[in-house]
Structures are given as C-alpha cells and as structure tokens.
Amino acid sequence: MSILLICIIILFAFLGAPLFSIIIAAAMTGFYFSDIDLSVMAIELYRIADTPILIALPLFTFAGYILSRSNTSERLVRLTQALLGWIPGGLAIVAFVVCAVFTALTGASGVTIVAMGALLYPALKQAGYKDNFSLGLVTTSGSLGLLLPPSLPLILYGVIAQQMDAGQAVSIEKLFIAGILPALLMIVLLSLWSIWANRKTPVPLTPFTLKNVLATVRESIWEIPLPVFVFTGVYSGYFAVSEAAAVTAMYVLIIEVLVYREVKLSDLSGIIRESMVMVGGILLILGVCLAFTNFLIDAEVPMKIFNACKIFIGSKFLFLILLNIFLLILGTMLDIFSAIIIMVPLILPIAQEYGVDPIHLGIIFLANMQIGYLTPPVGMNLFIAGYRFNKPIIEIYRATIPFMMVLLLAVLIITYWPWLSLVFIS
Amino acid sequence: MAGKAIDLIRQGIRILQKAEDSVLIGLLLLMVFIAVSQIFLRNLFDSGLSFGDELIRVLVLWISLMGAMVASRNNSHVNIDLISRYLPGHIKKFSTVLVGFFTSVICALMSWFSFNFVMMEKSEGVIAFSGIPAWICESIIPVSFAIISIRYLLISFATFFNSYKQNV
C-alpha cells in the first residue's frame, strides 16, 4: 500500500505537479504510516512564523525587484566602467564585476540576466568583442555573485542548517564571510580567461579620469550607500541580516520612487505582487519541507543513506567528487531554492559524517548550483538568455561552454581547498 | 442559465483576485514599515513595539501563503516537469487535468487538517502574543490551501473543457 502511494507521488512529480504538493503528499504519507496525526503538517508550516531570519527573504526580494525595474543597472555599469575600465580586458571585466555586485544587491533572485544582459550584450559587441564571447559572458554572469551578501540562497541554506542538530553553528554571518574569497576566485578566473580569449581582439579601454569618476559618482550618489551599509552592516555584525533587509527595502523604495522617480507609484503594486509570488513559492516549499524533513530525520533516513554510502564511498575525497557530480546534475533539474530546501537536510548530515565543514558545504553547494544554471540541456540561464536575446538555444550552449569550464575549475578549487572558504572563520 | 453561472463565477474570481492583491500589497508595506520603525525605536530611544517582532514574523507567513495563492492563479508554482514537456498534445492535456486534480486533492487535505489544528488551538485558547489568539494568526493556513485547492480544481476542469485562459 505505502509503496503504491510512493509510486503514485513520484509519477505525479515527473508529470509536473507543483513541488509543494508533492512534498505535502510525501510528508502526509510518511506521518500517516507512522500513526501521527496529520494536523502536525500545520504545526510544521507555522514554523515559518517562528524563524526570525526569514523576514530577510521578502524584504530583500522586494528591494531587488525594485532595483531591477529602475535604471540602477545603467548607472552601475557607467560607474564601474569609470573606475575599472582602464584595466586590460576592459569592458569584459567591468561586466563581471557589475553582474556580481548587481546579483548580490538583488539577493541573487535571478533578475540579473534580465536587467543586465540587455544592457551589456550590445555594449560588449559595440566595444569589439565577438558575438559568441559576449553572449556567453552575459549568460554566465547572470548567476555570478551568488555567494555574496545578501544572497538569498545562502540565507536559505543557513536557515535549513540551523533547523538541524548537525548545523547549529552555521550562522548566516559566517556563511557570508565564507563566500567572499570563493566569489572573488570566480570573478578573477573568468577575468583572466577573458583577457586570454581576447588577446588577438583589440579591445578599447576607458582611460581613468577623475572627472569621469566624479560625474558617475554624482549620478549614483543615492545608490552608493546601499552596498556599503549592506556589506559593512552585515560583516561587522552591527546590523542583523533581517535589519539590513528592512533598511534596504525602505531605502530602495524611497530613492527609486521619490528621488530618482524611475519606478512609478502605480507600478509598485505589480512589483510587489510579482516579488511576493516568488517569495510565496519559495517559502511554501520551505514550510512543507520542514515537515517532510522532520519525518525523514525521525525515520533516520540520512543515517541509512550514509550507511549505504559507506560501503561504496570510502573517503572524503571520493564523497566530494560524487557530491560535485550529483549537485551539477541536480542544478540542471531544479531551481536553486528548491534544490537547497530539499537536498540540504539529506546531504548535510552525511557530509558531516565524512568530515566536511557545514559552512564549507554551503559554499560548495551554491557554487555547484551556480553552474547548474548554465548546464545544457535545461539550465535556467540558457533559456532566459535564449528568450531575451532571441538566439537559438544551441548557439547559447556553444557560447557558454568555455565560461562554464572556467567556473568548473573554480568549483573544483573551492571544493578541494576548504581554506578558501574557512580562512576568515575561526 | 449556465452562461449566467459562469459569468457569476468569473466575477467572483475577479473580486477575489483584486482583494488578494490589495491585502498582499498592504501586508508587505506594513511589514517594511514596522520593521524599520522597530530599528529606529530600538537604536534611538532604546524601546520598541512590544508586539512588533512577533507581528512581523506572522506577516512573513501570511505574505508567503498569500503569494502562494496568487502563484496558483496561473499554475506558476515550481515543478520538476521532466516528462510532460515531451508528451504529445492530447496526452499532455490529459496529464494537466490529472495533475490539477491531484494538487487540488492534496491541498484540500492540507486545508482540512490545518483547519482541525486551528480549531483545536481556538478551543484551548492559545495566545500567540500580546493577547492575540494564536488561531487568528494560524487561520491563513486552512484558508489559503482551500483557495489553492479550488484554483487547481478550476484549472483541471477548464483544461478538460478547453477553456483554460491561464488565470483563475
């Protein structure tokens, strides 16, 4: 009977039933056969209201959606070009930095490629970069900056780890600190590759002039404080993450609607609805997954998987290799939020048995998922780019693969060199 | 007669959607406002609303579930969708009907069991914070799942009768 039910649930999952309903069905089946009253589902779901850090999610997402609707992206490009445009590699490097910062500012909610791509792709081509290179670059950059604060996926990882015995020491602040060097590594490797790939293409540089810098600074004067107080507030511990989120949301609302006046008051209701639909989708899955996770832990499923793994996987090294492969495949099938919510409760206890630090695991997890966005056949960035730039998907695959290889190298370094993630965490 | 009934349903759906949108927007703005006031009160006057932090956390739950309700209007919840995109037209239609029905049943069950939970909390008189009964804070759970359930049933029916216009 229970096996039949499980088969039906799996069938519906593959037929495309909403993920939250699949998880509810699985959790209810589990609780039913363990003779637990099913109103426990509501108790578990209510835990969304008992987790203070989750406040950050709607607030950062809201701020990110407003930023993506205003001209912040254009000002950010001009400012970065004035500051960094003189570096060999020119606009390509500017593009990586800009995308990383913008992804971080918008909490890695997936709006970068939409807001930045349309801006950078023509600019890169105009500057003399090859079409293929430019296309690959903007597609790749859409998920760069995933490891920088206030990355929502990183917050989500922290929330889930804290719900489990295994990861109680995983604070969001520590995760943010751990993400800095790996994020820089990705940006540096991609930049080096861009310089090398364009060694035969003459690329114009923007000379550094104080006048130019001052002009672009004046233009962005209201937005410059934003990363400053998010980064310093969170890193110094002066602000709690949720407080930083509240201030960011209010500040962005005021400057974009009242100071720059690029977001009309009448557009605000649509922006709020769109951003909260995304938040609702994520938190609903999180809420029902808390119930399912509880069932799995009661049934000691992670321990059972670990015991089965022990037979085949003898060393931490082998475990990490398999973890990389597994996460890369997972990243092509699930969006990053669902993947974190569903897989972290299973993988975290197992990884700890193999001696992987929970904070390092978080960075590995996200770095892998970032590549999943770009992996053919179904990586999400590929589709967004194809749709946005009106290119056949095969062309996007071909353009993106070199960048993906560079990121893959970065992920391997991040995975097998824990120092990079853990050096600033005592 | 049937046409009139359908018009009535359409009008009901429109009113419900407007109401959802307004409440959702109101709740988010309220949340931003309270969260920022708490920070100012705490840092400048070393005080704060006694119920502020709890209220914000309950608002997160309400906003999430309202957002989820809105997402189910056009079935834009996250799914895995490994098979259905490769199915031929008429089988795909059949599977959409089936999946809608499945989701509707699951949400109806969820709504029923959380309704029981809310009633239990009400009869025990559990207080959430500052004298506000817990059952009021929790009531969004059965309500939202009931509405999501109805929406997926409508999507399922409408797909079956070929009149699904991506918004219920």
B55 touches chain A (CB under 8 A): no
Q: Are A145 and A112 in contact (CB under 8 A)?
A: yes
Give the integer Cα–Cα distance in Å for A156 and A115.
24
Higher pLDDT, A168 or B49: B49
Q: Which of A216, A372, A284, A274 shows the shortest CA–CA distance to A68? A: A274
Please check the confidence at residue B80 and state whether its pLDDT lies above 80: no
Cross-chain residue pair B28–A58, CB shorter than 8 Å: yes
Q: Distance (Å) from the C-alpha of residue B2 to the closest C-alpha of chain A?
A: 30
Q: What is the pTM of this model?
A: 0.88
Give the integer Cα–Cα distance in Å for B117 and A318.
46
Average pLDDT of the segment spanning A126-138: 88
Give the count of beta carbons closer than 10 Å to the beta carbon of residue B7: 10
| Mean pLDDT, chain B, whole residue set | 88
Best probe of the A interface among B29, B58, B61, by most A CBs < 10 A, is B61
B70 touches chain A (CB under 8 A): yes
Cross-chain residue pair A281–B76, CB shorter than 8 Å: yes
Give the integer Cα–Cα distance in Å for A275 and A388.
20
- Out of A19, A62, A276, closest to residue B79 by CB: A19
A274 touches chain B (CB under 8 A): no
A276 touches chain B (CB under 8 A): yes
Cross-chain residue pair A15–B58, CB shorter than 8 Å: no
Higher pLDDT, A373 or A129: A129
Cis bond before residue A377 (omega within 30° of 0): yes
Q: Are A151 and A102 in contact (CB under 8 A)?
A: no
Average pLDDT of the segment spanning A79-84: 85
pLDDT of amino acid A381: 79
Cross-chain residue pair B78–A39, CB shorter than 8 Å: no
- Out of B57, B81, B107, closest to residue A49 by CB: B57
pLDDT tens, A390-401? 888 888 888 999
Average pLDDT of the segment spanning B116-120: 94
- pLDDT band at A109; cut points 50, 70, 90: low
- pLDDT band at A233; cut points 50, 70, 90: confident
Q: How far is CA A177 from the centre of its chain?
A: 15
| Long-range pairs, A301-307, Cβ under 8 A, ≥24 | A301/A346, A302/A345, A302/A346, A302/A348, A302/A349, A302/A350, A303/A349, A305/A346, A305/A350, A306/A349, A306/A350, A306/A353
Average pLDDT of the segment spanning B7-23: 90
pLDDT of amino acid A365: 93
- Out of A49, A242, A280, closest to residue B67 by CB: A280
Cross-chain residue pair A62–B32, CB shorter than 8 Å: yes
Give the integer Cα–Cα distance in Å for A281 and B135.
23
pLDDT of amino acid B30: 95
> Could you say which DSSP state residue B130 is in?
T
Average pLDDT of the segment spanning B95-102: 92
Cross-chain residue pair A273–B70, CB shorter than 8 Å: yes
Q: Distance (Å) from the C-alpha of residue B129 to the closest C-alpha of chain A?
A: 12
| Mean pLDDT, chain A, whole residue set | 86
Average pLDDT of the segment spanning A198-204: 80
Average pLDDT of the segment spanning A104-132: 80
pLDDT of amino acid A25: 95
Average pLDDT of the segment spanning B1-5: 74
Give the integer Cα–Cα distance in Å for B62 and B139.
9
> Could you say which DSSP state residue B46 is in?
S
Cross-chain residue pair B63–A58, CB shorter than 8 Å: yes
Chain B CB contacts of A243 under 8 Å are: 35, 39
- pLDDT band at B19; cut points 50, 70, 90: very high
Please check the confidence at residue A250 and state whether its pLDDT lies above 90: yes
Give the integer Cα–Cα distance in Å for A253 and B33.
11
- Out of A43, A246, A334, closest to residue B35 by CB: A246
Chain B CB contacts of A285 under 8 Å are: 78
pLDDT tens, A19-38? 999 999 999 999 998 888 99
pLDDT tens, A316-368? 889 999 999 988 888 877 778 888 988 998 899 889 888 899 999 999 999 99
Give the count of beta carbons closer than 10 Å to the beta carbon of residue B139: 17
Identify the residue whose tokens are 């960094």. Answer: A84
Find, in chain B, the residue whose alpha carbon is nearest to that of A239. Answer: B39
